[in-house]
Amino acid sequence: MHTLEFTLLVALGSLLAGFLGSLTGLGGGVVIVPLLTVVFGVDIRYAIGAALVSVIATSSGAAAAYVREGFSNVRVGMFLEIATTIGALVGAAVALHLHASIIAVIFGLVLIYSAVLSFRQHSSAADTLAPDRIASWLRMDSSYPTPDGPEKYHVRGVPFGFALMFVAGVLSGLLGIGSGAVKVLAMDKAMKLPFKVSTTTSNFMIGVTAAASAGIYLSRGYIDPGLAMPVMLGVLGGSLLGARLLAGAAVKLLRIVFSVVMAALAVEMIYSGLTGKI
């Protein structure tokens, strides 16, 4: 395969990954690594490096809009970034010393989790409990815009959410994904934030987490500009396209397609890891 053909096919695959990731809320990074590894035969560490660059680009584009609109809770995001950044550095450092087959198996398991999670409906039931001490001390309580005007909410479960964010950071650095699913789960379920606040704040955090991991991969030479550029442009374009079509798309059908693709890639990643093909 010629270089131009390879670049175009990678960009096209990344466009589809960004599109599906945008519509399902799981991000394109979770598709990019198995796509590059299984379909194109790219070394898994170079695939992770390219995925991290794409995560930074897509997060930076959307995060500014969400902050401007008043959805993201910047205080919560900046505090939790302490945990995710440390976790990302740990994950990236560990990944450089793990055999590629082990990383492939771990990634396969995460893909299965992502496939299952794409079916789940998130809901944050209204809760009248008072916020915990840390949330009050750091003034994390805020509000977000609704059709009926700003709606206030309290923040709870900060220590548990902080611990889950460390896990999310480790996954990001280890596997080259934004780990948005874990971040949203932590804020939605553990910290009781409204779901729209959880998803937008997660998007605000993902780029910083990925940047911390990308620095280590870059220092070790695992970010190839010739691979990272078409991946980044493809995922960014797919994400923007998905965001525009989200309102009129048959999301339920897309979630089914996404889950089937993820399950197939997961099986292939685990099989290739266990048999030593990766």
The predicted-structure confidence for 145-193, as pLDDT tens digits, reads as follows: 888 888 888 888 899 889 989 988 888 788 777 676 678 778 877 888 8
Residues with Cβ within 8 Å of 149's Cβ and at least 6 positions away in sequence, in order, are none
Give the pLDDT score at 254: 63
Give the pLDDT score at 249: 56
Query: Residue ranges of the chain with pLDDT lower than 70?
Result: 1, 21-28, 61-63, 117-131, 178, 180-181, 243, 245-252, 254-255, 258, 277-278
**Cβ neighbours of 236 (radius 10 Å):** 20
What's the predicted TM-score (pTM) here?
0.73
Q: What is the four-CA torsion angle of 268, 165, 143, 117, rounded to 10 degrees?
A: 20
Distance CA 93, CA 95 (A): 6
- CA atoms 193, 86, 22, 117: torsion sign: negative
Residues with Cβ within 8 Å of 144's Cβ and at least 6 positions away in sequence, in order, are 70, 71, 150, 151, 153, 194, 196, 197
Structural domain that includes position 114: 3-275
Nearest alpha-carbon partner for 79 in 29, 137, 127, 26:
137
Q: Per the structure, how many domains does the chain have? A: 1
Give the pLDDT score at 124: 47
Distance CA 263, CA 271 (A): 12
Distance CA 272, CA 276 (A): 6
